[in-house]
């Protein structure tokens, strides 16, 4: 059965959303949630004097511990490249529906790459107000261009350039996060596979929603990644759970939002927090976001870093390969 796309439903000019999108009362979002001043880090200070480097490492470390999310500026990815990434993503979603369907994925069969819409797990299951595109971005040896959009024709080139640039930002952040734990600079990168670390690109497309107060974009979750680096268009919508409240993340032009995911929570033995987050949608604007998930290869064993363990700090997480971790989380089982 062909999936029904949220974009097509939204284009139908409806005034009320179909019942599968209406969340239970307790899940409905406050669209005027107070905005959160999540930590804002100036990454250029990592290349400055030793004092500034030390201060910035501490800022990144406490943001990862207290919030599990922060924004970075002066990250080295040019404004122009982010603008081009956004333009090619938008151009893809603006293609005729039949053309987008030629890239349809088959999530039910475990084939997530391509164009998709999340399916409900059961008949009462609720849906998020979003379609997406998903493909592996890195390492080059594993890129499968058959699963990437061929239109616009510059998609591939722009996305490859973005992948290379974002890798530089990831490396710097992982170094700072390692130093902050008292580890060797390269420790966390190595723990997630070093050169074999993978990056996945997702484009979230949230069409305008006639009843945004009843719906959610993506439902509350933590990412499984080590880090997720996200840019969005100028429409706000990301919310994070902090001290028992949902707070909205402010849109900061040209900033990249960095999420700590489950993988870093495990490696740091719980010191870094995997941020619980969700997205809300807008009544009259399209929201788009581009998260890049940095993950270990599936066969990499994930366990708390042994340098962080002693008699007083036992391991809080069992060792598992990343593939097993993912399977257990998706299927909600322990083993
Ligand atoms: C995600 C996600 C948030 C957003 O895709 O994992 O959390 O702002 N997206 O779109
Ligand atoms: Ni997420």
Which 8-state DSSP code applies to residue 334?
Answer: -
Q: For 302-310, what is the mean pLDDT?
A: 97
Q: For 117-146, what is the mean pLDDT?
A: 88
Looking at the CA of residue 238, tell me the nearest atom of ligand 1. Answer: 8
Specify the pLDDT at position 8.
Answer: 95
Exposure string of 95-124, with b = 16+ CB inside 10 Å and e = fewer, is beeeebeebebebeeeebbbbbbbeeeeee
pLDDT at position 52 over 90: yes
Radius of gyration of the chain (CA): 20
Q: For 193-210, what is the mean pLDDT?
A: 98
pLDDT at position 126 over 90: no
Measured CA distances, 144 to 92, 105, 160 (Å): 18, 14, 12
Looking at the CA of residue 223, tell me the nearest atom of ligand 1. Answer: 6
**Catalytic residue flag (residue 277):** yes
Specify the pLDDT at position 7.
Answer: 97
Cβ of residue 274 lying under 6 Å from some atom of ligand 1: no
Q: For 278-285, what is the mean pLDDT?
A: 96
Q: Are strands 301-302 and 256-260 parallel, antiparallel or unpaired?
A: unpaired
CB atoms within 10 A of CB 144: 9
Specify the pLDDT at position 68.
Answer: 98
DSSP assignments along 251-299, one per residue: P-TT-EEEEE-HHHHHHTTTSS----EEE---SS--EEEEEEEEE--TT
Lowest mean pLDDT among 121-130, 174-183, 242-251: 121-130
**Catalytic residue flag (residue 94):** no
Cβ of residue 289 lying under 6 Å from some atom of ligand 1: yes
Active-site residue (options: 202, 259, 271, 300): 202
pLDDT tens per residue, range 22-39: 999 999 998 887 888 899
pTM value is 0.97
pLDDT at position 124 over 80: no
**Catalytic residue flag (residue 312):** no
Cβ of residue 291 lying under 6 Å from some atom of ligand 1: yes
**Mean pLDDT of all residues in the chain?**
95
pLDDT tens per residue, range 229-260: 999 999 999 999 999 999 999 999 999 999 99
Q: Are the C-beta atoms of 108 and 76 separated by less than 8 Å?
A: no
- Percent pLDDT > 70 in the chain is 98
Give the relative orientation of helices 50-66 and 155-180 as an angle to the nearest 10 degrees: 100
Question: Would you call 247 helix, strand, or coil by DSSP?
Answer: strand
Provide the residue count of the chain. 335
Query: Hey, whose CA ends up nearest to atom 6 of ligand 1?
Result: 223
Cβ of residue 202 lying under 6 Å from some atom of ligand 1: yes
Specify the pLDDT at position 71.
Answer: 98
Looking at the CA of residue 204, tell me the nearest atom of ligand 1. Answer: 10
**Catalytic residue flag (residue 221):** yes
Specify the pLDDT at position 31.
Answer: 80
Specify the pLDDT at position 2.
Answer: 64
Residue 3 — pLDDT band, cuts 50, 70, 90? confident
- Percent pLDDT > 90 in the chain is 89
pLDDT at position 1 over 80: no
Specify the pLDDT at position 297.
Answer: 97
Looking at the CA of residue 202, tell me the nearest atom of ligand 1. Answer: 5
Mutation choice for ligand 1 from 291, 292, 293, 326, CB with most ligand atoms inside 8 A? 291
Measured CA distances, 229 to 74, 275, 300 (Å): 14, 13, 21
Q: Are the C-beta atoms of 76 and 283 separated by less than 8 Å?
A: no
Cβ of residue 218 lying under 6 Å from some atom of ligand 1: yes
Specify whether the backbone of 206 is left (phi greater than 0), alpha (psi in -120 to 50) or beta.
Answer: beta
CA-based angle 292:293:299, to the nearest 5? 145
């Amino acid at each position: 059965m062909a999936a029904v796309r949220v974009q097509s439903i939204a284009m139908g000019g409806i005034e009320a959303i179909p019942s599968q999108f209406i969340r239970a009362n307790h899940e409905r979002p406050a669209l005027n949630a107070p905005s959160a001043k999540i930590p804002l880090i100036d990454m250029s200070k990592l290349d400055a004097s030793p004092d500034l480097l030390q201060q910035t490492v501490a800022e990144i470390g406490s943001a990862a511990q207290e919030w599990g999310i922060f924004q970075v500026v002066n990250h080295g990815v040019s404004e122009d490249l982010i603008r081009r990434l956004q333009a090619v993503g938008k151009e893809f979603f603006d293609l005729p529906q039949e053309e987008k369907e030629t890239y349809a994925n088959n999530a039910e069969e475990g084939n997530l790459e391509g164009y998709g819409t999340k399916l409900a797990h059961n008949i009462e299951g609720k849906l998020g107000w979003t379609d997406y595109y998903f493909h592996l971005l890195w390492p080059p040896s594993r890129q499968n261009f058959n699963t990437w959009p061929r239109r616009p024709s510059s998609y591939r080139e722009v996305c490859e350039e973005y992948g290379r640039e974002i890798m530089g930002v990831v490396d710097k952040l992982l170094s700072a996060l390692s130093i902050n734990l008292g580890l060797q600079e390269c420790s966390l990168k190595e723990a997630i596979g070093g050169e074999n670390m993978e990056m996945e690109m997702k484009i979230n497309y949230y069409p305008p929603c006639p009843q945004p107060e009843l719906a959610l974009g993506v439902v509350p979750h933590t990412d499984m990644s080590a880090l997720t680096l996200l840019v969005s268009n100028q429409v706000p919508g990301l919310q994070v759970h902090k001290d028992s409240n949902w707070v909205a993340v402010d849109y900061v032009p040209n900033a990249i939002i960095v999420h700590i995911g489950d993988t870093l929570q495990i490696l740091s033995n719980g010191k870094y927090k995997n941020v619980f987050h969700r997205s809300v949608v807008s009544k009259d604007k399209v929201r788009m976001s581009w998260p890049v998930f940095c993950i270990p290869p599936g066969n990499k064993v994930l366990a708390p870093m042994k340098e962080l363990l002693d008699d007083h700090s036992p391991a809080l997480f069992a060792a598992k390969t990343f593939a097993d971790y993912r399977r257990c989380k998706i299927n909600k089982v322990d083993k």
